[in-house]
Structure 1
Amino acid sequence: MSFLAVPLLKLGWSQAKKHKAKKDAQKYQAQNGVYPPTYAEQHPMSGYPAGATPGTTIHFDPEQSKTANLTSMFFSGLRFLQFVFGLTVIGLYGKDVHHDHSEKHAWHSKWVYALVTAFLATVTAAIHLILPFVMRKAKSGAAQLLLPQFVWEFVVTVLWLTLFGIFGKMYIGAHPVEKGDKTDDAISALGDASKITRMRHAVYVDVVNLVFWVMSASWVLVRWLKSRRSAVSSEFDAEKDGQI
């Protein structure tokens, strides 16, 4: 039994010290007019969702939080793919523009349009990859940016759709031919076999980019509609409380 005595004595001594320290702290607070913070001070209303009032029961759904995190991760990955495929388009079409520049030929407007579209999309995707880290402390104002964001996403989507229409009409029905084969003037005007093959691949990449931007624009639109619905609901509750 002696081996239990020493641990018990140590435990009792530590508990006595803690109890004495607590009493001393309470005595000091009473003498100096310092009191522990109230529940309202520890849990201010600013930390609760908008529209919450005393007596409101707030439920936190872990499944909903998990879904929100997965959705955020999915669209972060989508932004990354938009960035990568935008750079791919710049590489595919930029080769011809660089060739025209080095040979001092006139730049083709369709290829320049492709580069401008890909550049705008790539910069937009890069901004959206960085923006969440910059606006962590500005979530209250993020909802106000959803409508301008959707307008710009819609513009970029239309640019990709136009790009696909231009080059799809030119190259989807075209097939590369080897030297010595008979070919018409229309096919010859599109370039050699390597250029036609590269442009056909570029058209498929354009389609992928178009799908990506339709997805992101739709997501932004849904978020904006939800924020509008939440704002209208909060205003209605505030008016109802004011009438009561």
Structure 2
Amino acid sequence: MGFFGMTLAYIAFTILHFFQFVLALVVCGLYGTDLDRARKAGKYTDGKWVFAEVVGALSALTAILYSVPFILRFAAVPAWSFVIFVLWVALFGLFGNMYIKEDAEGNGDIQRMKNAVWVDLANMLLWFIGTVAGAAYWWVHKDRKSRFTGRAELGRGALHPIVGMEGINDLPLRQSLVKEYKIWSYEREKPQEKGEEGGGPASQEVFG
């Protein structure tokens, strides 16, 4: 994945997180209307509506956090996205069972909740996509990181991992590997140059 590919991936994730953030706020508004009304009337606050607010708030905060560059490279990101996805599944199932088959009959409040259920479904799908895409992004980055740091596992006299670099399409990674190869080659030849100067140990071995 080259620089251009990484930029496209970041733009795609930014768009995804933007819609996750917006729809999470929509859910907070739809369910928050009833909570605010109950608070003003001094009535009982239903825990199901509180749960909807918590899920919406967590999703909005997570979408903001995911907008930070490079944070998607952590393994915890797809795991937490999956947790958010499960919460949306539970929320959709809970209110879908209550309102999908309900006939609004001109009641604005019931119609609002029926609309909220479909927003819940949209959120559920967005977080499912985010979970899968986040896991794929982390896996690809993990593979690139292991290839980049592979040289540290090789001995001093081992063949440098630049061999076979033609299979790497990431231009910044290729340039970095070339630079490391030059340093590696220089350090490898250094002892030989020192030995040849002034009749050092290397010259003594050659000329007896």
Q: TM-score, normalised by structure 2?
A: 0.68
Residue 150 of structure 2 is aligned to residue 222 of structure 1? no
* Paired residues for 1:63-142 under 5 Å: 64-129=2-67, 131-132=68-69, 142=71
Residue 170 of structure 1 corresponds to which residue in structure 2? 98
Distance 1:243 1:223, change over 3 A: farther
Structure 1 residue 240: Cα displacement: 4.4
Structure 1 residue 169: Cα displacement: 0.9
Number of residue equivalences: 158
Alpha carbons 1:157, 1:214 under 8 Å: kept: yes
SS at match of 2:97: helix
Residue 89 of structure 2 corresponds to which residue in structure 1? 161
In structure 1, runs of 5+ residues without a counterpart are 1-60, 133-138, 179-192
Residue 124 of structure 2 corresponds to which residue in structure 1? 210
Structure 1 residue 73: Cα displacement: 1.1
CA deviations on 1:206-232 (whole Å, 9 max, x unpaired) are 111111111222222112212332344
AA aligned opposite 1:150: P
Name the CA distance, whole Å, in 2 between partners of 1:236 and 1:68. 21
| Percentage of identical aligned residues | 31
CA deviations on 1:163-222 (whole Å, 9 max, x unpaired) are 0110111111111125xxxxxxxxxxxxxx212111110011111111111122222211
SS at match of 1:174: coil
Considering only aligned residues, what root-mean-square deviation do their CA atoms show, in Å? 2.2
CA deviations on 1:2-27 (whole Å, 9 max, x unpaired) are xxxxxxxxxxxxxxxxxxxxxxxxxx
| Aligned with residue 147 of structure 1, among 60, 68, 75 | 75
Name the CA distance, whole Å, in 2 between partners of 1:85 and 1:221. 22
Name the CA distance, whole Å, in 1 between partners of 2:93 and 2:155. 54
SS at match of 1:96: helix
Name the CA distance, whole Å, in 2 between partners of 1:125 and 1:242. 45
CA deviations on 1:63-86 (whole Å, 9 max, x unpaired) are x43333222112111111111111
Name the CA distance, whole Å, in 2 between partners of 1:220 and 1:147. 9
Residue 170 of structure 2 corresponds to which residue in structure 1? none
